[in-house]
Every structure is written in structure tokens, then in C-alpha cells.
């Protein structure tokens, strides 16, 4: 699920304040039980959920629920203010910049990739003259994911290696063409980043920082580049190594994810970003509407019922409606999710060990549902946005 998935912003000097909890808002027992299931049954090391109410008159503001351990060496408890690797949530940041450039008439969404990157996609049956920018953002390009190459079956063997986007795109072009219309591939977003560079003359990381991170005041969000460390207060992340041992995977060179998966952030910053985006503060109405036009996603690469827009996932809720946002995973063990649901409730989830079984994945999704549906009656889901043709 969601494989993975730069001038660093200076880390904040002090630990961010804990998420405020309104005195009239008791902890929600169902959400606490969901988190305990992740820790006790699924052996997730640590889990945190930040729930933020944005509806007018909402009494609770923000509240955090946590379980487990942020650092096994020290025994420090998990919390909702630590930084973590955001994985493929990065894609939503990158898609936002592409759509900003579209609004400025510097990128045409239905133009072929070859207009901006002539000759780059022209091998093994792949042809950039027949793939549009929109298809890149929507994962309908028909391009393979370089992370599906055999060498990525053991990502820990390259955890300290630097990767260039064009190197990874070239590797993807050697792979067989996907058989499904929708195929999640970080390859698409590396190409989107190369297009940003081509039309602006700046690195895509610099453009995301200038256009999104700084204007929103995301002080705990930064591009790590080749720095394998996480700066500032952060949760350690863990994965099961080939010898079966639980291993600290915090130190990792995430240039393999680039603008498709490398950002470091916090639940609060991710919430600020996704709410600003969906409130229309980052994109004009036309581009935001385009972002929210979805196609059915392959449930084997996301989950049943999920749909995908331009860098946005729409997922139905048991209590009615759907959430809009994105999730991300990195091989070292971090998983992030940020989304907004009915009534403006925003949910951000942080794990420091990736679920490694179908049951664990189902429990993770159930935790997200619980965070959105707590206090709301269950009812049939509302229709999703129409499929984009």
C-alpha cells in the first residue's frame, strides 16, 4: 500500500506545543481502543492521531490520541507533535504546485509530457507524446513504478544511496507496462517534478517551499535532501529486517522518493496544509475542482472504494461522505495520513512502523474511519466526484 511512498528549512529550535484539548471534550474511547489494537494486535511500535474540528462553533478544537512508543531506546511515549517522514503525502504538495502553474498558464494539464521533457519518455513502448501531465498526476499514464523493480524488494540495501530523478525514471522505462488503467507509480511524480523544473528554472523542492511551505508557515516541514537524519523532535521509525529483527530505520536517504515521497513534516503541519488546500487557499476554484475529479483506484494498490484525483485520494466513510487527502509510507517505517472529512473535520495519523499484514492494514484504515466518524451517526456514503475522462 502506497510504496513511499533541496534546501532544507531550518528546524525549529523548540518542541512544538502539544495539540490543544478543549476542557469540555473527553477522550474518545473508540479511537483509543483502535490505537491500542494497532499496538497490541498489530505490533505497531507507536501511533498518534490528531483530530481538528474546523466547523464554525465546533467545541473541541484539536485533540490528540496516542499509543505506544516513539523511541524504543529511551522508552519515550508516542505523541502527535513529533516530526516524521510523510512519504507519498508529498505528492499532494507537488500536485498543488503543478496546478498553480496551470492556473498561471505555464503548464497545460492536457498537453503531452513530451512538450516539456522532449524525448525523455520514448522507450520500451512508453511514449511521452501520448501521455499528458494530467495523467501523470492521476496515475493513469500507463507508466510503471520504479519501486516495483526487483532491487526494491530489499530497500534496506540502498538506504544510504543518493538517487537522481532521471535515473529512477530510466529504470521505470525498463519495466513491463502495467495492465490496469490506473496504476499508482511514484515515477509519475518524479516526471511532474522535472516539468516544474523545466517551466520555472528552479528545483521542484524550491518551488514547493516557496509556494506552499513558507506561505502556510509550515515550520516543521522540510526537504531532507541527502541528509539521512531527522532534525528536531521526531519519532524513530522501525522495520523488520531480513533476519527478522526489529530494526531502527530512522536514518534513511529519501532521495529515492524525491518530490513523490521525501518530505518531513508533523501531523499539525500536514493538517494545516490539507485544510488550506481544500478550503481553496492554495488553488483557484477551477484547478481545485480538477484536483477533485477522480477515477477508480486499483484496490490492490490502495484499498476498496478509494478513488484518485490529481494528487488527492477520496475514500468513503461508514458514517457517510468521504475523506479527501493522501497517505504515505516509507520503507524505514514511518506512515503518515492527512485528510479532511465531512463537516471540515481534519485527521492526521502518524505511525512509526508500517503495518505488515492484511489485518494490520485493515486496522489502520479502521482507525482512520473511527477518527472521522466518532460522534457522527452511521449512514450510507454520499456519491463521490464524477470520474474524469
CA-to-CA separations, 381 to 12, 292, 320, 377, in angstroms, rounded: 41, 17, 4, 12
Beta strand spans in the chain (E): 46-52, 62-71, 76-77, 84-85, 122-123, 126-127, 238-240, 246-248, 264-265, 295-296, 307-308, 313-316, 322-329, 335-340, 346-351
C-alpha span between 23 and 46 (Å, rounded): 26
- Backbone phi and psi for residue 223, each to the nearest 5 degrees, phi listed first: -90, 125
CB-CB contact of 327 with 18 (8 Å): no
The cell numbers describing 328, all together, are: 504515505
C-alpha span between 44 and 357 (Å, rounded): 11
What lies within 8 Å, CB to CB, of 357 at 6+ separation is 42
CA-to-CA separations, 112 to 15, 58, 80, 141, in angstroms, rounded: 45, 45, 42, 11
The cell numbers describing 239, all together, are: 522495520
Q: Is 80 exposed, middle or buried (CB count within 10 Å of its CB: 0-12, 13-18, 19+)? A: buried
Of the candidates 95, 85, 325, the one whose C-alpha atom is nearest the C-alpha of residue 193 is 95
Q: Catalytic site residue 88?
A: yes
Rounded to the nearest 5 degrees, what angle is found at the Cα of 59, between the Cα atoms of 58 and 63?
Answer: 100
- Among the listed residues 62, 88, 235, 237, the single catalytic one is 88
Beta bridge partners of 315: 323
Place of cell 454520499: 382
C-alpha span between 318 and 182 (Å, rounded): 25
Q: Could you give the angle at which helices 90-103 and 267-278 cross, rounded to 10 degrees?
A: 30
Tell me which residues are annotated as active site: 88
Amino acid at each position: 500500500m502506497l510504496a513511499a511512498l533541496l534546501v532544507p528549512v531550518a528546524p525549529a529550535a523548540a518542541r512544538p506545543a502539544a495539540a490543544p484539548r478543549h476542557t469540555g471534550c473527553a477522550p474518545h474511547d473508540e479511537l483509543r481502543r483502535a490505537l491500542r489494537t494497532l499496538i497490541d494486535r498489530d505490533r505497531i511500535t507507536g501511533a498518534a492521531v490528531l483530530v481538528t474540528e474546523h466547523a464554525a462553533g465546533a467545541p473541541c478544537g484539536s485533540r490528540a490520541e496516542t499509543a505506544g512508543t516513539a523511541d524504543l531506546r529511551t522508552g519515550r511515549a508516542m505523541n502527535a507533535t513529533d516530526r516524521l517522514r510523510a512519504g507519498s503525502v508529498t505528492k499532494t504538495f507537488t500536485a498543488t504546485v503543478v496546478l498553480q502553474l496551470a492556473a498561471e498558464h505555464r503548464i497545460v494539464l492536457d498537453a503531452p509530457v513530451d512538450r516539456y521533457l522532449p524525448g525523455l519518455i520514448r522507450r520500451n513502448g512508453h511514449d511521452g507524446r501520448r501521455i499528458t501531465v494530467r495523467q501523470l498526476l492521476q496515475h493513469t499514464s500507463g507508466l510503471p513504478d520504479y519501486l516495483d523493480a526487483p532491487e526494491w524488494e530489499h530497500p534496506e540495501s540502498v538506504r544510504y544511496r543518493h538517487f537522481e530523478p532521471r535515473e529512477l525514471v530510466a529504470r521505470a522505462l525498463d519495466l513491463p507496462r502495467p495492465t490496469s488503467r490506473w496504476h499508482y507509480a511514484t515515477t509519475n511524480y518524479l516526471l511532474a517534478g522535472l516539468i516544474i523544473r523545466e517551466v520555472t528554472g528552479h528545483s521542484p523542492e524550491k518551488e514547493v517551499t516557496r509556494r506552499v511551505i513558507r506561505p502556510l508557515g509550515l515550520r516543521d516541514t522540510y526537504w531532507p535532501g541527502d541528509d539521512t537524519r531527522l532534525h528536531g523532535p521526531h519519532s524513530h521509525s522501525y522495520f523488520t529486517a531480513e533476519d527478522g529483527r526489529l530494526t531502527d530505520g530512522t536514518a534513511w536517504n529519501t532521495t529515492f522518493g524525491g518530490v513523490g515521497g521525501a518530505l518531513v513534516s508533523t501531523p499539525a503541519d500536514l493538517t494545516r496544509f490539507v485544510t488550506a488546500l481544500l478550503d481553496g487557499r492554495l488553488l483557484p476554484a477551477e484547478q481545485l475542482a480538477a484536483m477533485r475529479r477522480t477515477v477508480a483506484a486499483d484496490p490492490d494498490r490502495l484499498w476498496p472504494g478509494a478513488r484518485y484525483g490529481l494528487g488527492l485520494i477520496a475514500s468513503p466513510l461508514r458514517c457517510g461522505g468521504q475523506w479527501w487527502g493522501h497517505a504515505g509510507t516509507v520503507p524505514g517505517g514511518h506512515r503518515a495520513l492527512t485528510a479532511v472529512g465531512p463537516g471540515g473535520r481534519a485527521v492526521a495519523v502518524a505511525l512509526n512502523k508500517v503495518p505488515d499484514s492484511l489485518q494490520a492494514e485493515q486496522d489502520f484504515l479502521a482507525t482512520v474511519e473511527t477518527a472521522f466518524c466518532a460522534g457522527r451517526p452511521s449512514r450510507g456514503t454520499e456519491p463521490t466526484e464524477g470520474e474524469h475522462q
